[in-house]
Amino acid sequence: MNKNIVYVLIVFTCLFVFSCTDDNSGNGGNQNGGDITVKTGKVTFFNESSYSVIIHQDAFSGPVLLELNAGQTKNIDVRTSDNHGAGSVFSIEYLYRINDGFDTESGEVIASGIDPNVQINKVIEEKKSYTIQIPQPKNLEFQSAFVKILNSASLQFEFRHLGNVFKQTGNGNIPVSPGKTGVYKLEGIPSGGKIIKDHQVVTTFQTTAVPEWNAMNGFIYSFTYDGSSVVQSGLPQSIMFK
């Protein structure tokens, strides 16, 4: 009989301990699990330029805040400035359409460029409203290069790099039909240029190496595929800001 009483006391003691532990966990969760309030101001961005733009928070390589078409206006919440009065920075990337040297099936080929002078500072305070006007750029430094390959062979081809297949930048297609030009964007090129190598033109029956070349931002590089070889045709073409 005494053993039964002891057993019952042990069970009740364990239940009491677990109950207290759960209560404490719950209280701790309520104390620490609250949502963090982000302080914001209201900013109206007005794109006065004739280009579509991408607005980056902080640096040109910073996170994308929003995109605007030419002449478009958009109102969004932006976090308050927390850098001791220096203000928030909005860096503008302009999307510049290239119209030269492509055929009718190449689609819309867009180069991204920045005007180093168009970084807009504004102190954003909580619950206040602001208007930021995005100006027409005076000059553009392009942040990408392009390669175009004319298919003068009788079979369609794909452009590859170490087995990875490129999509054409203007129309999103993979194969390039005979008589057409494939256009591809090259990104991530440092200011001093980059050696482009290990690229191939691939058809159903063969793989043909593309010659190495040094790519620089702001240029278009032209090649021709004749069914047996790929050769660079002409000098690099500079993307002209007009």
Are 94 and 107 found together in one domain?
yes
Whether 32 is in a domain gets the answer no
**Structural domain containing residue 76:** 40-141
**What's residue 84's pLDDT?**
60
Are 49 and 80 found together in one domain?
yes
Are 87 and 177 found together in one domain?
no
Q: How far apart are the first and last CA of the chain?
A: 100
Task: Give the residues across from 132 on adjacent strands.
Answer: 45
Are 56 and 106 found together in one domain?
yes
> 82: alpha, beta or left, given left = phi > 0 and alpha = psi -120 to 50?
alpha
Whether 20 is in a domain gets the answer no
Whether 115 is in a domain gets the answer yes
Domain-ending residue, one of 141, 158, 175 = 141
Are 198 and 162 found together in one domain?
yes
Domain-ending residue, one of 141, 171, 199 = 141
Domain-ending residue, one of 91, 112, 141 = 141
Are 155 and 231 found together in one domain?
yes
Predicted model pTM: 0.75
Whether 1 is in a domain gets the answer no
Alpha carbon separation from 220 to 68, 143, 144, 178 (Å, rounded): 26, 12, 9, 21
Are 131 and 179 found together in one domain?
no
User: In the sheet where 88-98 sits, what is the strand order?
Assistant: 64-68, 52-57, 88-98, 109-122, 141-142
CATH number of the domain that 154 lies in?
Answer: 2.60.40
Whether 223 is in a domain gets the answer yes
For the chain, how many structural domains are there in total? 2
For the chain, 242 residues long, give each residue's pLDDT as a single digit of tens. Answer: 555 554 544 545 555 544 544 444 444 444 555 567 788 889 999 999 999 999 998 888 889 999 999 999 999 998 888 766 667 889 999 999 886 667 767 888 999 899 988 888 888 888 899 999 999 999 899 989 999 999 999 999 999 999 899 999 989 999 999 999 999 999 889 988 999 999 999 999 999 999 999 999 999 999 999 999 999 998 999 988 77
Are 168 and 113 found together in one domain?
no
Are 121 and 151 found together in one domain?
no
| 53 CB-contact burial (10 Å; exposed 0-12 / middle 13-18 / buried 19+) | buried
Whether 75 is in a domain gets the answer yes
Are 91 and 130 found together in one domain?
yes
Alpha carbon separation from 228 to 150, 158, 179, 196, 200 (Å, rounded): 13, 14, 15, 20, 12
Half-sphere exposure of 209 (CA within 13 A, CB side): 6
**What's residue 85's pLDDT?**
62
Are 204 and 153 found together in one domain?
yes
- What is d(CA 228, CA 135) in angstroms, rounded to the nearest whole number? 49
Are 227 and 161 found together in one domain?
yes
Token reading at 202: 């691939």
Whether 199 is in a domain gets the answer yes
Whether 4 is in a domain gets the answer no
In the numeric block, the tokens 């007009």 are attached to 242
